[in-house]
Amino acid sequence: MTTVPLFSTVGVTATVDLASAVQRVMDSHWYILGKEVSEFEREFAEYCGVPYCVGLANGTDALELALRSVGAGEGDRVVLAANAGFYGSTAVRIIGAVPVYTDVDPQTLTLAPTALRKVLEKGVKAIIVTHLYGQLADVTTIVDLAAEFDVPVIEDCAQAHGAARGGRRAGAFGHVGCFSFYPTKNLGALGDGGAVITSRAEIAARVRRLRQYGWGAKYHVEAPGGRNSRLDEIQAAVLRAKLRHLDAWNARRRAVARSYNEAFVELPARFPPSTGEDYVAHLYVLRVANRARFRKVLNERGVASDVHYPVPDHLQPGYPCEDGKGALPVTEAACDSVVSLPCFPGIKDEQVEQVIEAVKLAAQ
């Protein structure tokens, strides 16, 4: 039986001329912080509807430098959700801040404003709101709530390239938006890559300085907390070539998600609540009662699956928290039941049907 992969780079990039993009860099003999990076920064900022973009080495660096750019540091409290793979938590830990976890909305599995208010009343330095699985969080409510307490909002957009609501794209709502260009992302490079976007000139300037050792001028370190985090020319050239396809790829992802939603409407499972422009279907995630059995049946039917994510951040053994099991009931229930299905631009219609039939059998 033909196996349906969870993701296929071959299917996604089959129609994109990446060789010419790479050759252009090779012919230029300039590999770091050159024309390709500056042009990608300009083009991606324009796509996202903001004036500034700063290319970085990866998405985790983007989160770290975003936190530093809004003044978060040692001992500061940063609020975030605990069901997003520990990426935000890693950045918080790197700067010596303290992660403060709050529960998620039971429908979208993104940061819940009602739970957030209670945390803000106790004082925090920054908020990281993750647009999980490609679904925009209730970000306008969160930004308005944060403004009441004068707390900056950092959007983790690593899974939400191109998602939009009310004419604004992911990353353009808060103080700063953070992106990863890992190869499986909706906009993916040929390796690691990242960026921040912002409408604030001072934040862009801080991140540009921090991405290269904290230099104000070459070899003059003027800002603490700097690092070597530069998007290279080849990755920037590849991202420029792929950016023009992003909206079409997102449309295909949504179409696949709609097919799944329609097929699964009678099943004893919970599926994504939106297939509109606020959802770019980075991952199509079901919530099922018996995940182990469910995935076993899918595997037997030639359908790959994965779990994003099985262990909530506050229960990770590497960083024991005071809040143990039971502290975040919605988050913990989600981590016990989520399963990701194949959903990517290159997936064929017959593969979508194979996934549908396998899911129907597994859900019995």
Query: What DSSP string runs through 172-188?
Result: SSSSEEEEE--TTSSS-
Query: Quick one: 100 and 51 in the same domain?
Result: yes
The answer on 257 and 216 residing in a single domain is: no
Final residue of a structural domain among 243, 275, 293: 243
Residue 1's pLDDT is what? Answer: 62
What per-residue confidence (pLDDT) applies to 12?
84
202: CB partners within 8 A, 6+ apart? none
What is the residue-level pLDDT of the chain in tens, covering all 364 positions? 669 999 998 878 888 999 999 999 999 999 999 999 999 999 999 999 999 999 999 999 999 999 999 999 999 999 999 999 999 999 999 999 999 999 999 999 999 999 999 999 999 999 999 999 999 999 999 999 999 999 999 999 999 999 999 999 999 999 999 999 999 999 999 999 999 999 999 999 999 999 999 999 999 999 999 999 999 999 999 999 999 999 999 999 999 999 999 999 999 999 999 999 999 999 999 999 999 999 999 999 999 999 999 999 999 999 988 777 889 999 999 999 999 999 999 999 999 999 999 999 999 8
Q: Which of 93, 162, 152, 127 is nearest to 314 (CA)?
A: 93
Determine the Cα–Cα distance for residues 194 and 231; give it in Å rounded to an integer: 7
Does residue 192 share a domain with residue 314? no
Cα radius of gyration (the chain): 20
Domain of 53 in residue numbering reads as 9-243
**Which domain-ending residue is among 243, 263, 285?**
243
Does residue 2 lie within any of the structural domains? no
Whether 70 is covered by a domain: the verdict is yes
What single-letter amino acid sits at 130? T
Residues with Cβ within 8 Å of 326's Cβ and at least 6 positions away in sequence, in order, are 332
Q: What is the pTM of this model?
A: 0.97
3 domain residue, yes or no: no
The reply to whether 343 falls in a domain is yes
Task: Evaluate whether residue 4 is within a structural domain.
Answer: no
The pLDDT of residue 10 is: 87
CA-to-CA distance for 182 and 174, rounded, in angstroms? 23
174 and 43, same structural domain? yes
- The tokens for 35 are 């024309």
Q: Do residues 174 and 295 both lie within one domain?
A: no
19 shares its domain with 129 = yes
Q: Is 115 helix (H, G, I), strand (E, B) or coil?
A: helix
Question: Quick one: 265 exposed, middle or buried, by C-beta within 10 A (0-12, 13-18, 19+)?
Answer: exposed
Tokens 């801080």 found at: 206
Number of domains in the chain: 2
Token pair recorded at residue 50? 């903001």
Contact assessment for residue 85 and residue 282, using Cβ atoms and an 8 Å cutoff: no
Residue 215: per-residue pLDDT: 96
Distance CA 164, CA 276 (A): 9
Count of beta carbons in the 10 Å neighbourhood of residue 251: 15
224 vs 176: CA distance, rounded Å: 20
User: Are 159 and 259 contained in the same domain?
Assistant: no
Q: Note whether residue 152 is domain-resident.
A: yes
164: in domain: yes
Q: For residue 333, what are its two tokens?
A: 């229930």
Whether residues 271 and 235 share a domain: the answer is no
Neighbours of 55 (CB within 10 A): 29
Helix axes 87-94, 59-69, angle to 10 degrees: 50
Residues 334, 264, single domain; the answer is yes
Residue 146 tokens, joined: 């944060």
Distances from the Cα of 3 to the Cα of 305, 356, 357, angstroms: 11, 13, 13
Whole-angstrom distance, CA of residue 233 vs CA of residue 318: 35
User: Which among 185, 220, 243 is the end of a domain?
Assistant: 243
pLDDT on residue 112 = 96
208 and 116 part of one domain: yes
DSSP class of 99:
E
CATH number, domain with residue 261 = 3.90.1150.10
What is the CATH classification number for the domain harbouring 219?
3.40.640.10
Bridge partners, residue 55, by sequence:
195
In a domain, 1, yes or no: no
What is the Cα–Cα distance from 203 to 70, expressed in whole angstroms?
Answer: 7
Q: Which amino acid is at 253?
A: R
**216, 299: one domain:** no
Judge if 236 and 265 occupy the same domain.
no
**Beta-carbon count within 10 A of 212 CB:** 16
